[in-house]
Amino acid sequence: MHASNDPDAPDAVKSRGSRAGSLPWRTVWFSLVGVTVVLALTGLLLGRETRLAPFLIVLPALFAGRGSVRQTVFASVWVNLVVIASLIDTPLDTLAADVGVVVFALVFTGLSVAGAAQRVRREGEIARLRSAAAALQRQILRPFPLLTDDLLVQGLYEPVEEDSRVGGDIYEVVDSPYGSRVFIGDVQGKGLSAISAAFAVLTAFREAAVSEPTLTAVVDALENSVLRHNSFAAQAGERERFVTALVLGISSGPEAQAINCGHVEPYILHGDQAGPALRHEPSVPLGLASLTPEPRTVEWFDFPPGSTLLLCTDGVTEARDAAGAFYPLEDRVTHWGEVAPRDIARTVHRELQQHTGGRPTDDTAVLVLRRRADTGSD
């Protein structure tokens, strides 16, 4: 199946980053030749002296903002040669004036080359940082599939490795003495500080899932972990964050329990029926329990053997197409009741790529939980 926990992904990002730092050479040639010809023809048709220098020297500056260093150098050489040729053909009033124009063109185009080099170096540093952040996310999240005595879990994890957009989508499945416990969450905000908060919550879940006998105690441990992290963040001058989360407890019975802390609702798929698994309104996200007097409570729901539960982050439900329309997850799940978990994850990935035109703007995490009817279930 497609799993984005891919050790080669940072290299792919580097490749995309290098391509983004240059323009097609056809564009470079067309721009230089086209502008030069247009200016020359304009001078001839208007019957006046053609002064190309004031117009052409801006071209290297334009290439410096989008093209590679090599392309900027090429444009600078072209412009300087054309300027010198134009002055030889139609010199100014004095030699000093001609020399001044040439010197000005050389200095301006040289600054354009220096600017392009600085921009490309800065973009390379950003690409390395965002690749490192995405690699860090992949290392703290286990690859699919995940197995427990009760569940087969397939899924999808797709970090957005663009600028500072790398976020804090997290998930975990633990086989505990109290049954299978599942966690999916989304840390508010983006960047390395969001990943730090994600790691704190994920570590707390892995510990609490095997030590706490009740699901409410597990969630209390997660709440405390967010509060502790926010306290350290405040001391360091960083922003405090909250975490939306969905925590499930699944054992041998036909029902499962859930506590939804402001997260995207789960969908139950069984046969030809599919829809939201929970009926109650979610409670507040982790880190915000003090804002409401209402305690978080467990909700039980039917989860019989052979059925499937779909969990995701808002990178799925809030993915938009070119017209701004959201990805219609609730409509799509109605067709997936008999589909294998790994095929559901593949389908979500393919449809999200199509829906966003291959340009998602948020991390994506999907968990597909199949309630195991027997240990040979696949």
- Single-letter code of the amino acid located at 256: A
Would you state the pLDDT for residue 47?
A: 56
Q: Are 241 and 233 in contact (CB under 8 A)?
A: yes
Of 101-115, 162-176, 244-258, 338-352, the least confident: 162-176
Neighbours of 18 (CB within 10 A): 14
Share of residues in the chain with pLDDT > 70 (%):
84
Of 96-105, 153-162, 222-231, the least confident: 153-162
Strand residues in the chain grouped as ranges (E): 146-147, 151-158, 167-176, 179-190, 243-250, 255-261, 267-270, 273-276, 299-302, 308-312, 364-371
pLDDT band, very low/low/confident/very high, at 126 (cuts 50, 70, 90): low
Q: What is the mean pLDDT of residues 321-338?
A: 89
Residue the block writes with tokens 């690859």: 143
Question: What CA–CA distance (Å, rounded) separates 309 from 209?
Answer: 19
Q: What is the mean pLDDT of residues 364-378?
A: 74
Q: What is the mean pLDDT of residues 194-223?
A: 94
Calculate the alpha carbon distances from 89 to 59, 84, 85 in Å. Answer: 22, 9, 6
Share of residues in the chain with pLDDT > 90 (%):
40
Would you state the pLDDT for residue 311?
A: 97
Mean pLDDT is highest, among 69-73, 120-124, 207-211, for: 207-211
Would you state the pLDDT for residue 9?
A: 39
As to burial, measured by CB atoms within 10 angstroms (0-12 exposed, 13-18 middle, 19+ buried), residue 106 is middle
Between 173 and 50, residue with greater pLDDT: 173
Residue 334 DSSP code: G
Neighbours of 24 (CB within 10 A): 10
Would you state the pLDDT for residue 11?
A: 40
Question: What CA–CA distance (Å, rounded) separates 166 from 179?
Answer: 32
Residue 31 confidence (pLDDT) above 90: no
pLDDT band, very low/low/confident/very high, at 18 (cuts 50, 70, 90): very low
Question: What CA–CA distance (Å, rounded) separates 314 from 316?
Answer: 5
Using one digit for the tens of pLDDT, what is the confidence trace for 252-281? 889 999 999 999 999 999 877 789 999 999
pLDDT band, very low/low/confident/very high, at 222 (cuts 50, 70, 90): very high
- Please say whether the dihedral angle defined by the alpha carbons of residues 289, 292, 293 and 297, taken in this order, is positive or negative: negative
Chain-wide mean pLDDT for the chain? 83
Q: What is the mean pLDDT of residues 122-135?
A: 68
Residue 143 confidence (pLDDT) above 80: yes
For 5-17, letters b (16+ CB in 10 Å) and e give bbeebbeebeeeb
Of 2-6, 17-21, 329-333, the least confident: 2-6
Helix (H, G, I), strand (E, B) or coil at 59: helix
pLDDT band, very low/low/confident/very high, at 88 (cuts 50, 70, 90): confident
Neighbours of 54 (CB within 10 A): 12
Question: What CA–CA distance (Å, rounded) separates 132 from 134?
Answer: 5
pLDDT band, very low/low/confident/very high, at 102 (cuts 50, 70, 90): confident
Q: Give the DSSP H/E element, type plus range, for residue 121.
A: helix 95-140
pTM above 0.85, yes or no: no
Between 198 and 173, residue with greater pLDDT: 173
